[in-house]
Amino acid sequence: MKPINVTVWGEYRHEKTHKAVSDVYPKGMHVTIAEGLQAYPEFAVRTATLDEPEHGLTDAVLNSTDVLTWWGHMAHGDVRDDIVEKVAKRVWEGMGLIVLHSGHFSRPFKRLMGTDCSLRWREAHDKERLWVVNPGHPIAQGLPDFFELPEEEMYGEYFGIPQPDELVFVSWFTGGEVFRSGCCWHRGMGKVFYFRPGHETYPTYYDENVRKVIANAARWAAPTLVSQFTRSANGPTAPLERDRVTG
């Protein structure tokens, strides 16, 4: 069977400057996320980072990517306009996009959502409990009714996103807040999944349930389009039933 080509994109800046982050992710968060996916034989996984030429997202890489995962935080503004547009165009063509944690403010996500994507937050070692609110959804397969992360950053509502097409997880935090933490959208022929956990100072991307969610999401977001269709031409479309059309 043809593998699902996943490109794991990481900003990879915190790990170079913050010891608290490199202590948790010595090889970089993107490598840890990639290793989680590599445990599943159906994925062919590679990584790309911000400071590589073209952020590691050359046309050749993007055009051969079925699913792109995105983690960014401190340098959203350094992502080039043309790369943002290319990512959006690939999603409209059918590429899957999985946006992780602080990627809620990333330029590709905001471009595809069209809203401010803001939220409430607190870094105070809250416990996060993620409830499955759509147990029949492919992204929830194999998960318990809920799972917990002992320490995470809190994200709370209101989350400034368009109404998700499908909601898979809702999180509760020890501070009392709730958050729509697993959200699906369709954009063009592509699928977008936002998954909340993953603050850089916590070992979230080693968690087995988190890894299962990301793998399920990569399977769900992989392109399913097999038929070809003709895009609208610039000029008018010829009628199929000529005898019924005048002019």
- Contacts with Zn ion by CB under 5 A lie at 102, 153, 199
Residue nearest to Zn ion (CB): 199
CA–CA separation, 49 and 45 (whole Å): 14
CB 104 within 8 A of CB 117: yes
| Burial annotation 55-73 (CB, 10 A radius, 16+ → b, else e) | bbbeeebbeebbbbbbbbb
Q: Which is nearer to Zn ion, 102 or 181 (CB)?
A: 102
Q: Which is nearer to Zn ion, 40 or 105 (CB)?
A: 105
Q: Which is nearer to Zn ion, 65 or 102 (CB)?
A: 102
Residues 6+ apart with CB under 8 A from 134: 140, 166, 167, 168
Q: Which is nearer to Zn ion, 88 or 100 (CB)?
A: 100
- Nearest approach in angstroms of CB 157 to Zn ion is 16
At 241 the three-state DSSP class reads: coil
Find, among 193, 31, 198, 228, the residue nearest to 96 by Cα. 193
- Nearest approach in angstroms of CB 73 to Zn ion is 6
> Tokens for 244?
């019924």
